[in-house]
Chains A and B, each alone.
Chain A
Amino acid sequence: MGEEAPRQGVAARDSFAVDALTGMSAARRGLYVHFPWCLAKCPYCDFAVAVQKRIPEARYTEGLLAELSLRLAARAAWADAPLDSVYLGGGTPSLWAPALVARFLEAVRARLPVRPDAEVTLEANPEVADAARLAGYRAAGVNRLSLGAQSFDVRTLRTLGRAHAPEDARTAVRAARQAGFDNVSVDLILGVQGQSLSSAVQDAEGAVALGPEHVSAYVLTVEREALGQETVFARRLRTGRLQLPEEAAVADMVEAVTDVLQAAGLGRYEVSNYARAGRHARHNALYWTGGDCLALGVGATGFFRTAMGGVRTTSHSSPVRWFADVEAGRLPEAEAEVLTDAEVFTERLMLGLRFTSGLDVEALAQEYGQPSRVQRLQRLEAQGLGSQGADGRFRLSRRGLLLHTDVCALLL
């Protein structure tokens, strides 16, 4: 397996700002909206999720807009610059009625400047992604669809507790194309119990066969301490009822899946993300380049830079508490974490190194008044974990990307 050439990731027509430290074009300001409801909770999921027969979607839409007003009142600067991206995540936002999504996006545009070519993504589950619904989202202004296919193997889907069949993902992508989506992403999960190298490769081939612009291939994360909250899988792992493939086998899967995707023109631009040229997720790139993100909804996390560092806010993950706050005119904040410059430095370091385009570690260190890392970078290079490019960026090798945590710990 050779090292892929560093991806520029920036198409000629790209009008998104380029982050100087990573060379990635990214949204500088985004809006994240969390839609917490699902038809069933997946056993591996650590997001703020609620399962309810009747989803109070109209009430929620109004609540989100009420929260938007509260956020703008609390920090007027959110209206200073136009939004580059909107991301509707979940939960299962494809359960949200298209008419309400339209109403919501319209109301956002009325209150905040949004650039006309903003990236507007919606996460969809294959089982609730029919043609009419997708057309409704497209008409509402959604221009990117992220489809939670996860696998094309019935056994893997069953182990993951997913409700859909492999065929559903194919149907959903066809429907998306018909609805006019020219930017579709497919999610895969690797390292599932019982999954073999060949079934992981088949999943990657299944994703390629759908012709997506973007693929996210996530290794299943189960350990409680790496997740936001307790999951069914974490409990099973602790009690020995869940056996995950060996670390080396999972690493082999990542490498093999990378080979399949890259051969199909989906270049790896981040630890778990692959895209055709110019089609990387601008909104996700915002997180990895320290951009400001206004967040709305149950359990949503937002971030903005300050002169001293940054502030990261997290809303209540219980819909009951969230509703109670926003409907009483209070910010539904569960936590506001004030970050120092040193902490922002740590984050930019660990996030920037996730890109295959690399990170200008020395420029970053200088920007934050940190000592030079040159010697440590040289040591990493000598160990084959990364290489220093002529552009000043340090790029992790494939092996380095898989050992990203250790590399970061060494550089901190």
Chain B
Amino acid sequence: MPPENAHLRNFCIIAHIDHGKSTLADRLLEATGTLSKRESQAQFLDNMELERERGITIKAQSVRMNYTAKDGKTYVLNLIDTPGHVDFAYEVSRSLAACEGALLVVDASQGVEAQTLANVYMALEQGLEVIPVINKIDLPSADAERTRAEIEDVIGIDASGALPASAKEGIGIIDILEAVVKRVPPPKGDPAAPLKALVFDSWYDSYRGVVMLVRVLEGTLRNKQAILLFSNQKTFEVQELGVFSPFSSPVSQLQAGEVGVLIAGVKVIHDAKVGDTVTEAERPCVTPFPGFQEVKPMVFSGIFPIDAGDYEDLRDALEKLRLNDSAFTYEPETSTALGFGFRCGYLGLLHMEIVQERLEREYNLSLITTAPSVVYKVFTHQGEQLLVDNPARLPAVQNIEHLEEPLLTCHIHVPDEYLGGVLKLCQDRRGVQKDIKYLGTSGKRVQVTYAMPLAEVVFDFFDKLKSVSRGYASLDYELAGYQPADLVKLDILINGDPVDALSVIVHRDRAYQRGRDVCARLKQVIPKQMYEVAIQAAIGSRVISRETISAMRKNVLAKCYGGDISRKRKLLEKQKEGKKRMKQVGSVEIPQEAFLAVLRTDE
């Protein structure tokens, strides 16, 4: 191994949401003097407002720390952050590929969760050194020994060297840094070899264009170098190289083993996809780093401005969002009910919620989002095969030979006392059990594996899973192809007119129940109008459910004299503002939330 790399350590942190990853990262930055306590605006690595609020990490980051170990030598430690949600599993795998080691943070009172497990397996597969850290040992409910046993039992790695810690209280931080130095191997790679670097994150910066985070595997990245991106064979010139410590500072080169920032005049994020390999144009490497995937959206929904006049603003906002999010797609969509809008694609439900929140918050737009849909395969009698991500675009029943829907393999971890509820939920969601096994020797934790339609998981499955397990169940899943299914389009009619934006594709066996639920739900969220409103659910021309919102009879202020007038005027102005958040569909005013009502049930 080249001696230049002996002082380098690249590692990441694997943790379940809430198990303290961000807090631990902050403590490491403080302990190495990379960031003062004052600067560490609690949880430095989560640098988006939304991420901080939700306590999750969406975009990976990387920070270089200098650490003088007990052996007297100074080491450069690169902490590579990983996204913490199942929607971003691919990004996680790329971040792991940039590391030689991983800290596995497990909450001393909660134990190992499914998402953690999935990521640990991924890390082990890629040959990372995994160092277990038992966090939150300061909590009264902490049980370090049991957690240690569980890590061995459940994950099957040696946890005798697990480090007890409390990131919140700053306990065990130095031990963790020492373990990184001693146990994580220094990176391999020959600085003289042809360049091979892995893009493990990229984003758009409005001043500098596309910024890539790269791990150099072989060779050396230099300023002014002509580089080639493997997936699209495009060449660019290196304009700037840098590291985060924690704020960006320029360097003249990055060589094998190092992690840093690469800016090369790339204008669009789609030219710098996560997982791609960077090589030298003059002297390219023979094979790219394996495992590159084009990330494709799995879930789609319509986004429409409440005020048609905001359409251009929405388009601009989507364009900007897409600059920074290569997994997000959009294309124009026209709805008879909602007018002009966009059909947007996301990695999963969380991704969808994040996009919507950012649009509303950062771009100050009032939007209507339609219920999410998965991509169905439609086989017609004419022998065509279509991909349909929008119920409104489903061909007429008589033209459909059969339909196929995407399937997931779901791994659910749950304490055995909640197993019954979880099994019933999976059954209700058309799941087919593939495996059930007790983890470890305690006999208390179970992993069940189900094949389940993606559409069922999209449809508030995660909330329900949390509620039947009091929050203890955790979920991980991967795509498992398509399977034929008996699906129908459920239409919703308001005062006799079908509202295309409320249509959903559902399994025939559940259409009746779903129709009833949706009608009942809409009755709750649509306010009384000046006339009666009929809500119907229909399959084709057959109405399967109906609710009626009776007409409002009285809405008038009885007394309106001197002192009442200003107050009344303000109430009216408020009501008018409220109307702006409603969508006029035919003659009925429908509030935003109605369009998501088809998504939720009151089971």
Which A residues fall within an 8 A CB radius of B? 32, 47, 218-221, 225-226, 228, 247-248, 250-251, 254, 271-272, 284, 287-288, 293, 295, 299-303, 312, 314, 337, 339, 343, 346-347, 350-351, 354, 383, 385, 401-406, 408-409, 412
Contact = CB atoms under 8 A, between A and B. Distances in A.
Contact of B565 (A47, A250, A347): A347
Contacts of A385: 530
Given A337-B566, A385-B530, A404-B555, 9 more contacts: A218-B558, A272-B559, A346-B569, A346-B572, A347-B569, A350-B568, A351-B565, A402-B554, A402-B555
Contacts of B555: 402-406
Contacts of B575: 405, 409
Contacts of B569: 343, 346-347, 350
Q: Which 10 A-B pairs have CB atoms at the shortest separation, nearest pair first?
A: A251-B553, A301-B563, A404-B556, A301-B562, A218-B558, A251-B554, A219-B558, A405-B555, A409-B575, A402-B554
A293 B563 CA distance: 11
B363 interface: no
Contact of B558 (A221, A351, A406): A221
Contacts of A383: 530-531
Contact of A248 (B553, B560, B576, B579): B553
A12 B559 CA distance: 28
Contacts of B560: 271, 287-288, 350-351, 354
Contacts of A303: 562, 565
19 contacts: A219-B556, A221-B558, A251-B553, A254-B554, A271-B560, A288-B560, A295-B562, A300-B562, A312-B565, A350-B568, A350-B572, A385-B530, A401-B556, A403-B553, A403-B556, A405-B555, A405-B575, A406-B555, A412-B576
B557 A221 contact: yes
Contacts of A251: 553-554
Residue of B558, B559, B565, B572 ringed by the most chain A CB atoms within 10 A: B558
Given A346-B572, A350-B569, A284 B561 contact: yes
Contact of A221 (B531, B552, B559, B563): B559
B573 interface: yes
Chain B contact residues: helix, strand, loop or mixed: loop
B193 interface: no
A406 B557 contact: no
Contacts of A412: 572-573, 576
B573 A406 contact: no
Nearest to B557: A226
Contacts of A300: 562-563
Nearest to A344: B569
A409 B559 contact: no
Contact of A272 (B531, B558, B568, B579): B558
Contacts of A254: 554
Contacts of B564: 228
A299 B572 CA distance: 23
A32 B530 CA distance: 36
B571 interface: yes
B576 A409 contact: yes
B70 interface: no
The CB with the most chain A CB atoms within 10 A, among B553, B563, B573, is that of B563
A254 B554 CA distance: 10
Contacts of A312: 565-566
B554 A219 contact: yes
B38 interface: no
B567 interface: yes
Contacts of B550: 248
A340 B556 CA distance: 24
A301 B568 CA distance: 14
A295 B560 CA distance: 16
